Structures are given as structure tokens and as C-alpha cells.
Amino acid sequence: MYIPRAIEETIRSVSKTFPVLLLTGPRQVGKTTLLQKMAEEKRGYVTLDDPDARYLAKSDPSLFLQRYVPPVTIDEIQYAPELLSYIKISVDKSHSKGDFWLTGSQMFHMMKGVSESLAGRIGIIDLLALSNSEINRKKSEPFSTDTQWLLSRVKIAQKMDLHEIYRRIFRGGMPALYVDDAPERDRFFASYVQSYLERDIRDLTQVADEMTFYNFLTIVAARTARPVVYEEIAKEVGISAPTVKQWLSILVSSRIIALVQPYHNNVLKRVVKMPLLHFLDTGLAAYLLKWSSPETLETGAMSGQFFESWVFSELFKSYLNLGLQPPVYYYRDKDQKEIDILLLRDGTLYPIEIKKAASPGADAVKNFGVLQPVTKPERFESQEQQRITVGQGAVICMANDLLPIDKKNWFVPAWMI
């Protein structure tokens, strides 16, 4: 059973614009299935998981491209970066759009070769696991706090109660878990983690000990929806703080996590500079931390963290699926005032708070006031150029319906994202 992906139109658009399309993302998110579903009959296909095809690609790239002529999909391109310069020669001769569709899981290795060989010739698209909208077969749109968008969205989104949302959080979004003959969840994730460690991490010279990296991965999962303190993670894992930074960059490149940067403006003097960490698939995080059921997760100590990371990942995917870079930041200052998400669009900041409550109360937006100085930077040493508008805000929560808090803020049910 194929679940249509929201990113399909973006792929069509990029393929009509560039001679080479690269679809990246974590393992098992459906990159190959998606491109095969979208491919026309004349497009060839080869995977570099095949040892014979990989050997030919690495030993004789020119002959490989004579055998697999464009238009062609080449799966797992990271296994033969030698092909990239030959693909460049091919597209420079043909001047045809969409000649090569490539997929790759190891962005950490791949991007240097891509940027050096195919600059100006390649469109890069990120694919993550299924979004809530895709699973529910609803239209996917970039999240907005705009009143008209919210009012139109609430009409088409599928309502979900607390238990349904936590079942979704517990399972995550991997497509294999939503087919008719889906594998048992724990078995799937055990295989997933083993493949990630043995095939992706083993190939990275920065990681010498797979079991230490697995321990690191588990400790990072426990810090989802929390600011990153490198020294704390280093002490708990038994590695250096620079190694923590290096390994986190691997997880970011693998699209296992996202590091959200703090919003910084010269008129906000007390902002904390630590990035905020979110696991992008809550099912994987729940597996790593040995949560046994949606019910124990929902009532457990990390319930709020998982809800926050799930909401963040859904919002994050709503932009990626339209080929847009998610314009996300967060706010935290030395007085411990926080805003979970700040969307920055067209010179306007839109504050978003995430609360695992059906009726959070009007004080849920109390921290939004910390942003007011950015609207009046003339008070701060003539920094008029730093002026930013603060737009409509939202509290994403477990409310049953879309409701106004005041003239500038809304309670938004989590199932609307």
C-alpha cells in the first residue's frame, strides 16, 4: 500500500528545473518507493546496494553510464561518489532536465562531492518520515498562525484525541509501519538501528566505537525537546565535548535530529545561545528509550517532551514537503523565559508555544511579551535596521477545537498541523 507523499509536486518542479535531482533523507523513509512511483516508463533504475552495479560504478564510471543511460534513477549514490563528475559531463552535454534522479542516505559524506561536482546543476530535496497529514490522507500545507489559514485548515484536518495522538507519537512515521503487512514495531526499529550503526556510522571515520555511539544516540533521545549542553552529554557518554559536537552533526546530516538555533537580535540582550534538540521521529526515540506502549509514554515523565518534539517535527515537515527551508527558531533567556518555536517569515516573528493540555489557559502566551523590544529597536542605540514585527501567535495543544485566546493569539489543536 503506497501512501501518496506531499513532496511529489516539489519533485516534479525540481526535475523540470535541474538536470539532476537528489532526494536525501534517513533510511527507510520511502525515497526509493516514492521515485519509482513517480518515474515514467522510459526511466531506468539501478541501486548501488547491488555489489555488481556498485563495482562497475566505482571502477569504470564511464562504462556504468553507458549501461544505465539517462533518464535514470540511481539509488544510494553515496556508495559511488566517483559517478558525480561523470554525471556532470553527461548533463553538460545533453542540457536535458531531469536526466538523473539520485537518492542518498549519508549526507555527511555526500554533500562535499555534490557541491564540488554538480554545483548549479542539481536540485536537492529532503524527505523525512510520513507526516501526520500524509498518514491521515489530508492536504499538507506549511503551518501558519494566520487567522484565515487556521480557519480553513480546521475544516479539513482530521480530529484526533489524546490516545490517538500518542499512538502516532509512539509509532512514529516510518512508512513500513503503515502498510497492511507492517512488521512488529520493536523488530522494525531494532533492524533500523542496526543498519544505521553498521552501514552508515561504520563508514564514518569520526566514529570508532559503534556501541559508544549507540549509547550516545540513546542519551540524545532522552534530551529531545531540550537545549543542548555539550559538556553534560560528554560526561554521560564518556567522550569529549568536541566529539559530542561532531557526532551531533552526523545525526543532523542523517536527519535523525534537528538542532534549532536560538533567535538572536541585538536588542535582546539576555538570550541563551544553546541550540534546542529535537528527535525528528518520535517512534525511534521512544524505541531507544524502551517505552513499552503509547499509554506508558503518555503518562510517563517524558510525555511533554515527546509531545513537543512530535509537534515540532510535524511543523518542520510541513515546510520541507513543499521544498521550503523551515524558518524555525526558539527563544530562551537567562531568566528562564522560553518560547518553543519562532517562525520568521518576511520580517515578522510568529511565536508558538506547545502545551500538552486541553485548556492551557491564557497565561500560556505570557512569554510572548519578551519579544516586544525587537519591535522598537530605536530605543537601543539607534538599531532601527533590527526592527522586526511580532505577528499572530499560537498555543499548539490538546484542545478539541480552534479557539481564540485574545486578538493576537489562538489555541490550535495539535491535529491541525
Average pLDDT over residues 259-264: 91
- Within 13 A of 352's CA, how many CA atoms are on the CB side? 25
List 227's β-bridge partners, or say none. 276
Lowest mean pLDDT among 58-72, 147-161, 375-389: 375-389
What stretch of H or E contains 416?
none
Lowest mean pLDDT among 55-69, 130-144, 193-207, 304-318: 193-207
Q: Are 198 and 191 in contact (CB under 8 A)?
A: no
The x, y and z cell numbers of residue 268, run together, are 535582546
The x, y and z cell numbers of residue 58, run together, are 566505482
What pLDDT is attached to residue 209? 77
Q: Which residue has the higher pLDDT, 234 or 209?
A: 234
Lowest mean pLDDT among 58-62, 144-148, 268-272, 391-395: 268-272
The answer on pLDDT for 183 being more than 80 is yes
Q: Are 251 and 223 in contact (CB under 8 A)?
A: no
What pLDDT is attached to residue 107? 61
The x, y and z cell numbers of residue 86, run together, are 561523470
Percent above pLDDT 90 for the chain = 75
What pLDDT is attached to residue 230? 96
What pLDDT is attached to residue 199? 75
Q: Are 42 and 30 in contact (CB under 8 A)?
A: no
Give tens-digit pLDDT for 5-59.
Answer: 999 999 999 999 999 999 999 989 999 999 999 998 899 999 999 999 999 999 9
Strands 348-354 and 393-397: parallel
DSSP letters, 21-55, are EEEE-STTSSHHHHHHHH--TT-EEEETTSHHHHH
Whole-model pTM: value is: 0.92
The answer on pLDDT for 379 being more than 60 is no
Lowest mean pLDDT among 222-236, 247-261, 262-276, 337-351: 262-276
The x, y and z cell numbers of residue 5, run together, are 507523499
Q: Which residue has the higher pLDDT, 267 or 41?
A: 41
Q: Which residue has the higher pLDDT, 381 or 332?
A: 332
Single out the residue of 379, 345, 316 nearest to residue 133, CA to CA.
316
367-374 contacts, C-beta under 8 A, 24 or more apart: 367/331, 367/337, 367/338, 367/339, 368/339, 368/393, 368/409, 370/268, 370/331, 370/333, 370/337, 370/339, 371/268, 371/331, 371/339, 373/267, 373/268, 374/265, 374/267, 374/268, 374/349
Give tens-digit pLDDT for 83-126.
Answer: 999 999 999 999 999 999 999 876 655 666 676 778 889 999 99
